[in-house]
Every structure is written in structure tokens, then in C-alpha cells.
Amino acid sequence: MPMQTLDKTNAVKAVHSEDNGERTDISESSDAVEWDPWDPPDPPRPPFPPTADFTSKVQLIKQYGFQVRAALAASRSTNIIAPDRTPQEVLFKFCQISSELGLILKRDSVRSFLRLYGENLDCMAWGLIITPQTFDFIVAHNALRCAKVVLEGKAPKLYEMRANPNCMSNYGYFPLHQAAETFSVDMIKLLLRYGASANLRTSGQKVIEGLLPLHVAIENTCMHKYLEDNLLTDQKHKQVDFDFIYKLVHLLCLPEMKIFLDTTRLLADYTDNVLDELWNYIKEGKLVHAAILLLAAQRKIRTCASSKRNTNHNLSGFDIIKDRITGSIISIETEGPGLTGGKNSKARKQQDDMRMFFRNALVLNSMISEAGEALDEYIQTHSEVSHRGVLGNISSILKDHGVAPTGKGINIGDLKCCPYDCEESDSVLKCKHDSGMTKASGESPNRNVEAKNAVGNKLPSRQELEQTRNMFFPYWRSVLTSRFTVKLFPSYAPMDDCQPSLPKLYMAGGSGNKLKDKGSFPVDVGLLGKTPQLTSIHQSRRLFGTAAFTLLKMLKKRA
């Protein structure tokens, strides 16, 4: 059964709550008094029957103890829990088994997981629930079978403990943030089915605060290899023009973008106030972010209505965004005449840039409003078409809807469409390289069946999903881990991404793989570890954990 969660307003309050370690009886509490879901009030104590003897009273006391324990476990496993309450010693012990657990989760073996769980209850479960770090590890490996088992909590070998899909990890994010980073639609659906909230935000010093799972998906999608090679995601206002928007829309419709858009679309469907998130991107000058959200969530945006009472209820979300952009342009036009020459010349130039940006944002909003449904249908049904075919068809769709410049088209030769050189020996990955989808020439030879499945209508397998993600997404720059003090860079990572000021640790998989740290390892740094046996050079960033732990032991021996 799906888990229950607290009201959304309590999520914000829970983020800053602290465990006071005291127990409270529910009979002494009031409805107006807020209580910590990690330490809820005890259920009412039943009175002793007048005729109860000593043995009966002892039995009733035991039964009440079981009720208290069950209520405590239910509260901790079904409510929003933040921050993480797991002790540091438990987190450190988990680091020591992360290697073996990583190998098990790579196979997604429920039997092996339950065996390891039974042998390591002291670090995989604590406080009557499966620890957030254990569940975060499962989600990070996209181990769907193991995730389902721990969310259900019905397996006898779990000892009546389960995972909470709304429990913050010690790094300040929730399971849905982790699933968004892996771009696993299946894992996101599973978490949502068991009550995960898409409206919980990151919090703490180890993560960028205030991020929704939707933000993680969009920010990381902006790092897609095609977008970074062909567009500058941090465009200055003056650099964004119609050609930029036109090229951006074409790039977003390429087959290799599908898993990224699918993830964004699913999260947007369960996120509140999507229009406000879209408007925030536009106000901040993030046109690529706005385009991703507009295209992926265009069906939901069409049904969004304004919260203002005096607003026409027939307005769609696109109309509301159009009004906001237009209002911003009018505001700039009104303030503009007062800024002339001297010290105001710089401010005037900034206003001109902003005016141009908002006008281009208006063009983007209109383009997706008019052609979004047709574009979305094409993306979902034509994911096995060559780049040349996709670009030609997208140009035709935009032209048919009157949102393309006359005679304007995108030349395949003008685009750089090459994935990261993961040097993967797997045949599926080689097929993708040779399929014609990633060649700027636009040639489209016969496609291998496995390559089709990787980007086709069928959801990709776990291995194919990981390969596709690593081919196009620089996971070492993920917004979710941008504040981590230790990172693993694969050999194919651009040198500009590696900070030369940090010490280096060479690891398996090529001399280019370097573990970097600012000079000290926190006690729980290895909790992001996956496995020390690097079987390929494009393993996830979480492979660095055990290496960090090994380095810790080396440093202790030298001390």
C-alpha cells in the first residue's frame, strides 16, 4: 500500500526540526501542538481492568509496549523526516559494507540483499526503519526490485522495518532527488506509488538548498552534451536571439534527449506551482531551463490556471506566462526613458538586454504554445529517426504552426552531436556510436535492434539507461553533488572540469580517473561509495566511497 505523508506545509517545518530525544504521551498533547514525526506522541495507555491480576497487568504492559513500538515505526516510515537522525557511527559502518552492497545492487538481487541486510542490521537499519543512506544507495543504483521490497517492508527478513520514501539523507536530499539524478522514470514511478512527494526541497550545508526533484532533472538536463556543445546555457541576454531559440527547440527534439525530457515531464506532473517554477527560470534569464520545462510539461502547463480571482479562467498556463512576460517588457519600457547618459548608461544597456531577453522568451513561449502538442507527439513516436530526418520534420512542424521563419531550417552539418567517449566495450554502446544518431553528417545506416530499444518507445533497461546517461550527461557535475568535497572524474571528463587545486588520487579504469578532495575527508564521505572494483571507466560518481575509506586507513597508518 502507498505510504501516507504529512501535509506539504509540514515538510518545510520538518526540514529544520531537531530530535529532542523525549517521549510524549498523546493524551497530554493538544491538536494545536506540533510534534516531530520522528518522535511522535505515544498512543493512549489503556486502563487496567479492575479484576486484572499481576500477570494480566504485565501482559497488558507488554502489549502496550508493542503498540508504542509499532506506532513509532509507522510514524518514522510514513511521514516526512528531516533532517536525517542516523548517528555518525552507523553511517561509518555502512561505508565498510558499501562495496559488497554495490555489487549486489548492480545485479538487483533481492535474495543477496536480504542476506547482507540480516548480517548488517546495525548499519543498514536504525531507529526502526531502514536507514536513509541504505535506501539512497538502492535508488542511486536504480535497483528496482530491491527498492520495491524495502518500500513494502513485508519480507520477514526485514524484521518489520521498511524504507521511508520521504526521509532526508544525511546529505540533505530526498530519494526522489536521487532518482531524478539517475533519470530513471521507473524508479520515480515506484517512489511516487509509495507516497514520495515531489514538493520536498533540499536543505543543509552539503547540498544546494531549495532544490526540488524537478530542479535536479532540469539543471542536469541543461548539461546534456548536445546542449553544451551547441549552446551556451549561461547565455547573456544579448546573445540569445531567434536563431538560438530555433536551434534549441530542434536539439530538444532529438532522440537522445528523450529520457531526460521523460524524467522532467513525470516530475512536473507531480510538482505544485509549475508555472511559478517556469516563471522563476525566465526571470533569472535561464532560457534553456525554461525551454526544457515548457516542452516537457506543456500538457500540464496548458491546464494550469492563475491563482488570482480576477483572472479569466479560460487562460492557459501559456497565456499566464505571456502576460507576465509582457508586463515585464512594459515595465522596462516605462522605466527606460529615465535612464540617459552618464552613470545611467550601464543601467540603460542592462535594460536593453533584459528587454531583448524577454522578447525572445515571448517567442519561445509562443512557439511551444502553438506547436508543443505536435512536437511532443513527434518526440514520443519518432525516436528511431536519424538526426537529418528529425531536424527536417521538426522544421516542418514549426512551419505548419506558423512559428518558424520563412525559408529557415537547421543544417545537420551545423550541429555537434557527439556523445562522451566512454570507451565502453559493450556492444550496445558501440551500436549507439555507429547508429548514425550521433554523427553530425546525418547519415543513418541500418540501426541495431539494441540501439533502437535504448532510445525507442520502450523504456530502456537498467544497463542501457546507465549507458545512455553516461554518454550524454556529465554526472560528475551534477547539481545534486556540486558541494561534495570528493568527486570521481572519469578519464573522458574534460580537463576543464577537473579542479587543479585539489589533490589527486589515481584509481582503476585509466590514469585519467582521479579522486579529488580539498585535503580532508569527512567521516561519512564514503557513504556515497558504490564499489571499489571499477569494472568500467564510466562508473557512477558513487564509486569513490570505498576508495576514500581506503585512503583514510592509509593516512591513519602513516600518522
343-397 pLDDT tens trace: 567 777 888 888 889 999 999 999 999 999 999 999 988 878 888 888 889 988 9
Are both 247 and 364 inside the same structural domain?
yes
Tens-digit pLDDT profile for residues 141-187:
999 999 999 999 999 999 989 999 999 999 999 999 999 999 999 99
If asked whether residues 527 and 487 sit together in one domain, one would say yes
Q: How many domains does the chain have?
A: 3
Q: Of 412, 437, 472, which residue is a domain's last?
A: 472
Q: 124-154: buried (b, 16+ CB within 10 Å) or exposed (e) per residue?
A: bbbbbbbbbbbbbbbbbbbbbebbebbbebe
Residue-wise pLDDT for 447-492, tens only, equals 333 334 434 445 458 888 888 888 998 888 899 988 887 777 888 8
Q: Are residues 240 and 367 in the same domain?
A: yes
Judge whether 204 lies within some domain. Answer: no
Identify whether residues 460 and 529 lie together within a single domain.
Answer: no
Q: What is the pLDDT of residue 439?
A: 34
Judgement on whether residues 424 and 483 belong to the same structural domain of the protein: no
Give the Å distances, CA to CA, from 151 to 62, 195, 313. Answer: 28, 10, 40
Write down how long the chain is.
559
Does residue 482 lie within any of the structural domains? yes
360 and 505 in a single domain? The answer is no
Inside any domain, residue 468:
yes
Full residue range of the structural domain in which residue 316 is found = 224-472
> Are 324 and 367 in a shared domain?
yes
- Residue 127: inside a domain: no
pLDDT tens-digit profile of 59-113? 888 888 888 888 888 888 899 998 999 999 999 999 999 999 999 999 999 999 9
Q: Is residue 208 part of a domain?
A: no
C-alpha span between 185 and 542 (Å, rounded)? 20
Q: Note whether residue 389 is domain-resident.
A: yes
List, for residues 176-232, the tens digit of each pLDDT value. Answer: 999 999 999 999 999 999 999 999 999 999 999 999 999 999 999 999 999 998 886
Asked if residue 393 and residue 353 are part of one domain, the reply reads: yes
Q: Are residues 488 and 459 in the same domain?
A: no
Same domain? For 552 and 446 the reply is: no
Cα gap 148→38, rounded to integer Å:
23
Residues 357 and 501 both lie in one domain: no
Of 54, 78, 102, the one marking the end of a domain is 78
Same domain, 247 and 367: yes
Chosen domain end from 28, 47, 78:
78
Instruction: Tell me how many degrees the CA angle 494-426-535 measures, rounded to the nearest 5.
Output: 70
Residue 128 lies in a domain: no
Asked if residue 533 belongs to a domain, the reply is yes
